[in-house]
Amino acid sequence: MHVFYSDQFVLPLPPGHRFPMAKYAALRARVAASGLVDPSEMHVPERATREQLALAHDPGYVDRVCRGELSAREQREIGFPWSEAMVERSLRSTGATIGACRAALIHQSFAVNLAGGTHHASRDHGDGYCVFNDSAVAARVMQAERRADRVLVVDCDVHQGDGTASILAGDDTIFTFSIHGAKNYPFKKQASDLDIDLPDRTGDADYLAALDRGLTEALARARPDLAIYLAGADPYEGDRLGRLALTKEGLAQRDRLALRTLREAHVPTAISMAGGYAKELDDVVEIHFTTVSIAAELSE
């Protein structure tokens, strides 16, 4: 199973910033120490190119990001101060999902981006800690390279994938499925091809039942050659921004359900980590590591 990592491209943040940048290096260290993945199958991704980004984003927005021309308001909406390191990080993280999609299709299995899931970025602006939308870009790149005709995005972050939905609206070759908290950010939702809105404090059983129904419908409607799975850690009951009530065991069951369903449907799948804001960083890392572990197990 091929794994792509970009944690060495650190996004500098002011003291007290709530984005858990440290989780990425901690996750890679744990994956590397576990022996789950052969060292030869752990890769530093290439940068996403301007041409690749422009398949999903307005070229003017891409240029403003890369040249450091974002307004103060645009930077506030993204949630990060602009820096050259922020640009490099965003290009590498998007490139990691592109790489994972290629590897999944070549090997007809699972591949992992240890970051990614930046699903709030829209065509002409970033938002919610998301600069570029790695899922939308990667899906379009796979189509442009003629590796896949039809793509399914399964978004299990606790927040709706509004940017992905808006970028891909009207594109019947890429199906967007988001299961998320109804009352959580973003407060103005976009229309995915399939949305499942869950009430606050939804627990394991109700979540898994809803996900099972959603996966069945999404696969039937999408008929995909490739899936991109956003395995957010933020539905966790201990997440500061989550508002749902899944246990760690429930999240493991979520990953097993999603990945087994996709495998049984013979759909190669790229996995990204998406969000996670638990009070204890170790909880976020453990949840993401479990996702990688289940993918490795099911790849055997």
Q: State the pLDDT at residue 186.
A: 93
Q: What is the Cα–Cα distance from 36 to 33, expressed in whole angstroms?
A: 8
What's the whole-number mean pLDDT along residues 150-173? Answer: 97
Q: What is the Cα–Cα distance from 223 to 256, expressed in whole angstroms?
A: 21
- Contact yes or no for 122/134 (Cβ under 8 A): no
From 98, 80, 94, select the one nearest 21 (Cα to Cα): 80
Q: Which two tokens stand for residue 227?
A: 């899936």
What's the whole-number mean pLDDT along residues 188-212? Answer: 97
Lowest mean pLDDT among 8-22, 33-47, 123-137, 281-295: 8-22
Report percent pLDDT > 90 for the chain: 96
Q: What is the Cα–Cα distance from 152 to 135, expressed in whole angstroms?
A: 10
What's the whole-number mean pLDDT along residues 14-35? Answer: 93
- Contact yes or no for 39/148 (Cβ under 8 A): no
What's the whole-number mean pLDDT along residues 284-298? Answer: 98
Q: State the pLDDT at residue 292.
A: 98
- Contact yes or no for 100/6 (Cβ under 8 A): no
Q: State the pLDDT at residue 175.
A: 98
Q: State the pLDDT at residue 116.
A: 97
Q: State the pLDDT at residue 3.
A: 98
**Band of residue 300 on the pLDDT scale cut at 50, 70, 90:** confident
Q: Which two tokens stand for residue 131?
A: 């600069």
Mean pLDDT computed over every residue of the chain:
96
H/E element, 23:
helix 22-34
Q: State the pLDDT at residue 54.
A: 98
**Band of residue 12 on the pLDDT scale cut at 50, 70, 90:** confident
Residue 14 has pLDDT above 90, yes or no: no
